[in-house]
A and B are shown apart, each in its own frame.
Chain A
Amino acid sequence: MTKEKKVFNEVLLEAVDEGLLILGESGRKAIYFHLQNSHSLKKEDIPEKPEIFLNGLRKIFGLGAQAIERSIVRCLYSKLGLEFIERKDYDFLKYLDAAKNMSEKEG
Chain B
Amino acid sequence: MPSLLAAYKVSLVLIVGLTLIYAFQGYYPEFIQFFSNAFPPVIAGAVVISCGFSLEKYWHKAREQFSMVWLYFTWGLFLWFVGEAVWAGYTLVWGIEIPYPSIADAFWLCGYIPFFMALYLYVKIFGPVLSKRVLAASMAVTLGLTAIVSITLITPVLGAEEDLATMMVDFAYPLFDLALFSIAFLGLLIFLKGRLGKSWLLINMAILTNVCADMLFSYTTAQGTY
Contact = CB atoms under 8 A, between A and B. Distances in A.
Indicate whether A and B interact: yes
B192 interface: yes
Contacts of B59: 26
Given A27-B58, A62-B197, A22 B192 contact: no
B189 interface: yes
Interface in B178-215: 189-197
Report whether over half of chain B's contact residues are helix, strand or loop; otherwise say mixed: helix
B64 A61 contact: no
Interface residues on A, range: 10 to 19
Interface in A58-87: 58-67, 70
Contact of B58 (A22, A24, A67): A24
Given A22-B125, A23-B66, A26-B66, A63 B193 contact: yes
A25 B63 CA distance: 11
A56 B203 CA distance: 23
A36 B72 CA distance: 30
Contacts of B96: none
Interface in B115-143: 125-130
A67 B193 contact: no
A40 B11 CA distance: 31
Contacts of B60: 24-26
A64 B194 contact: yes
Interface in B35-63: 57-60
Contacts of B57: 26
A63 B65 contact: no
A58 to B, nearest CB: 7
Interface string A16-31: 0000001111110000
Contact of B192 (A23, A58, A62, A70): A62
A67 B194 contact: no
B117 to A, nearest CB: 16
A63 B66 contact: no
B194 A60 contact: yes
A67 B190 CA distance: 10
A24 B195 contact: no
Given A23-B66, A26-B57, A63 B191 contact: yes
Contact of A70 (B58, B128, B130, B196): B128
A60 B193 CA distance: 8
Contacts of A66: 129
B132 to A, nearest CB: 14
Contacts of A27: 58, 66
A78 B196 CA distance: 30
A66 B189 CA distance: 13
9 contacts: A22-B125, A25-B60, A62-B190, A62-B191, A62-B193, A63-B190, A63-B191, A64-B126, A66-B129
Given A23-B66, A27-B66, 9 more contacts: A25-B60, A26-B58, A26-B60, A62-B190, A62-B192, A62-B194, A63-B192, A64-B196, A67-B128
The 6 closest A-B pairs by CB, nearest first: A62-B194, A24-B66, A62-B193, A64-B126, A25-B60, A66-B129
